[in-house]
Structure 1
C-alpha cells in the first residue's frame, strides 16, 4: 500500500505535499518549472502546444527522469539527479487519469479499478471490495460488470478517475480528463469531477488546454510557455491582469504592452491608446472584445480611441460573433449577429473601431 502523507504535509499545515523543481532537457527544449502543491489543492497547468505540459506530467509520473532539480512528495524524494535518487513509476504514490482513459478493454469496470490496489499489495477480494466502494462513490455501482466498450464517455471517465483514486495517491495527475467528451457530457462530468476533487485529500495537478476546466476545477493556475512559468495565481488574478498574449487569449482579452505617460499609452508598434487609468512607465493595456464597437464610417465626435481597421475573420463565439481585425493594432471584437447583419460585415471589409477609455484596464508590466 502507498504511504499516507507525512504529518508535516497535511491539509491546512501550509507545507506543500508536492515540492518540485522540474528541469528536463530534451534536445533544444528545456523545461524549467518550479512547482508546489498543497494537500487538498488543485493546480491547473496550462500552456500552448509545445510549452512543456506533457513533459512535466511524464516527469512527475516517473516516466521521464529529471536532468536537474528535484521532486519530493509527502516529504520523500522521488527524483534528485545530484543525489542519484530515482524511484520508478510503479513505486510512486501517484494516480493518473489519461486523456483517453486507457482502461483495459478486456477487464470489467470493477477489475479495472481493482488493478491498482492489487498491484499495491491487496488480495483479490480486498482489491475488488475497494473497487466496488469507489465505483459506488462515482455512481457506477450498477455498471461494475460492464467492459469499457459498454460504457459511455462520461462513465469511462469516472471509471478512470476511480481507478486512479483507489490507490490513495498522494498526487493525482489529470491529463486533459474531459477532452474526449462531447459538450453536454463534458458539462455534467465537469461538475462531478469538481465534487470528487474537493474530497481528495492529496495534491492534484490538472493539465488542460481548456480555460473553463481550469477556472472551474482549479484553486490555482500555473501557465507555462517555452518551458517556463509566465504567470501564476488564482483565477481572479489571472483573468484580471494577463501578462502574455497567450494568457490574454485564454481569458478572452485584447492585450497590448506600451509605455504610459498619464492616461496616454504609446504601444510598442507606435499606436497610442487613451486609457481610464493613470500610470507612468511600462504597462499592459487590456480590454474585452465586447468593448470594441464597429462602424461603417468614422463616427461623429471623434472618440480618442478610434482607428480604421480591416476585417480578417468572422467566427461564431457563443451567442455573438467574434470579429478579427487588423490595422494599426490587431484586435478582436464581439458583436451580436443582428449588428453584423446590419453592417453587412464580410472578410476584407474596412470598418472603424472604437474603444472607450473607461473600458480599458491598465496595470504595470515588469521590464522585459
Structure 2
C-alpha cells in the first residue's frame, strides 16, 4: 500500500523525547497504542501542527507539511473531549471548518447539514453542545472533522468519554464512517478493543519510541514487551532458547513445542495455567510451586496472581476457586502444558 501519510516525528521537551516513524495508506486506519505518557497525544498534535517538531518531517499526499500551519493542513481532528464550541449550535460547529476554508455561510451550512445527516443527527442542527448526549457530541465532533474533506483524520481517544453502552453503539457507527473515509486515519487509544475493532494496523509506542507494529493477529500472537503482553492478556517472559526449552533469569526454564535458539520470548495465556492443591502427576512439562498473592473478578471467571520462580496470572472458574480454597497466601502448584506456550525469537 502506498503511504498517503509519511512522517518522522521528533519532539524534545521537558526531559521527554518522542522519536517515531509513521506511515498510513489511503483508506487505512492505524491505531497508535501505548501506556500513559508514551507520547501518543504528542504524536497526534505534531501531525496536526499543534506541537512543533524538534526534528523529522510530515508529508501528506507527497506534500511537505513540516512547516505548514494547522489551518492550512488538510487534517481533521477529533479531540478526546471533543472541544465543541459551546456558544455554537451543532450546524455552526460543523460549518466552522468549511467557513475557515472560504466557503460562504449558506454553502457551509449545506455541508454541515449533509454531514449531520450522515452521522444520524438530522434534526439536531440547532442544538447546543450542552443539549447533546455524549454519543451525540462525539458524532458532531466527527462530522466537524470530516466536513473539511481531510486527507488525514486524527482521532484522540474518541470513545473514552462515553459510558459502556453508548461506547458500544458509537464504536460500530465510527467503524462504518472510517471504512468509508478515503483518506488516512490515525486513531490514538489505550483501549485494545477500540484498536481491534477500528484499525487495520497497530503501532505500539512506549517511552516515545515504537516497540512493535503490525496487524492485530501478529501482535496478539507475539507480544514483545510487558505492556503489549498485558494489553493482549498474555504472560510473557524473556530468556535464552535452547531448542524446545527457554531458560529464564534465575534458573527457571519453560518448555514449548516451538524450537528457538538464542534470545527468545515465551508466552502463554492465563487460561492455560492449571492450579493444583499438590504436585500434579502426568504430562505437564512446566510445573512449579506457587503462592497466591491476589485474586480478582475477571469477566465470568477469576484472575489470580501467583508468585514463585516466575510471576504469572491465571484464570480459573469460581467453582475451581472454591475447590482450591483460594485466598492470599495459599500454596499451590501451577502447571502449563508445553503445547499451550509459544516461544519465538526476541530479535
- TM-score by shorter chain over 0.5: yes
Partner SS state of residue 66, structure 1: coil
Distance in 1 between the 2:246 and 2:6 partners? 41
Cα distance in 2 for residues equivalent to 1:242 and 1:90: 39
Residue of structure 1 equivalent to 2:316: 335
1:13-42 residue CA offsets vs partner (Å, 9 max, x unmatched):
x33111111111113221110111111110
Superposed, 1:40-119 pairs within 5 Å as 40-79=27-66, 86-119=67-100
Looking at structure 2, the residues matched to 220 and 51 of structure 1 have their Cα atoms a distance apart, in angstroms, of 18
- C-alpha distance in 2 between matches for 1:15 and 1:302: 50
Cα shift at 1:283 = 1.4
For residues 270 and 215 of structure 1, the distance between their equivalents in structure 2, rounded to whole angstroms, comes to 37
1:7 equivalent in structure 2: none
Alpha-carbon distance, 1:251 to partner:
0.7
How many residues in Structure 1 have an aligned counterpart in Structure 2?
347
Please point out which of 13, 22, 26 is paired with 2:13. Answer: 26
The gaps in structure 1 that reach 5 residues or longer are: 1-13, 80-85
What's the CA shift string for 1:222-243, capped at 9, x where partnerless? 0111111110101111111111
Q: 2:130 aligns with which of 149, 153, 163?
A: 149
Structure 2 counterpart of 1:209: 190
Alpha-carbon shift at residue 268 of structure 1 (Å): 2.5
Q: Does 1:298 align with 2:285?
A: no
Any stretches of 5+ residues in structure 2 without a counterpart?
Answer: none
Which of 187, 191, 197 does residue 168 from structure 2 map onto?
A: 187
Instruction: Work out the CA distance in 2 between the residues paired with 1:158 and 1:339.
Output: 45
Structure 1 stretches of 4+ with a deviation exceeding 6 A read none
Q: Which residue of 1 aligns with 2:211?
A: 230
Aligned pairs for 1:118-133 (under 5 A) are 118-133=99-114
CA–CA separation in structure 1 for the residues paired with 2:179 and 2:285: 48
Partner of 1:83: none
What's 1:287 paired with? 268
**TM value normalised by structure 2:** 0.97
> 1:220-299 to 2 correspondence within 5 Å?
220-299=201-280
In structure 2, the partner of 1:158 is 139
**Matched-pair contact (CA < 8 Å) for 2:283–2:337:** no
Shift of 1:347: 2.1
Which position in structure 2 is the counterpart of 1:308?
A: 289
TM-score when normalising by structure 1: 0.92
- Corresponding residue SS for 1:311: strand
Deviation at 1:45, TM superposition (A): 0.4
Query: Residue deviations 1:74-128, cap 9 Å, x none?
Result: 121111xxxxxx1111111111111111111222111111111111111111111
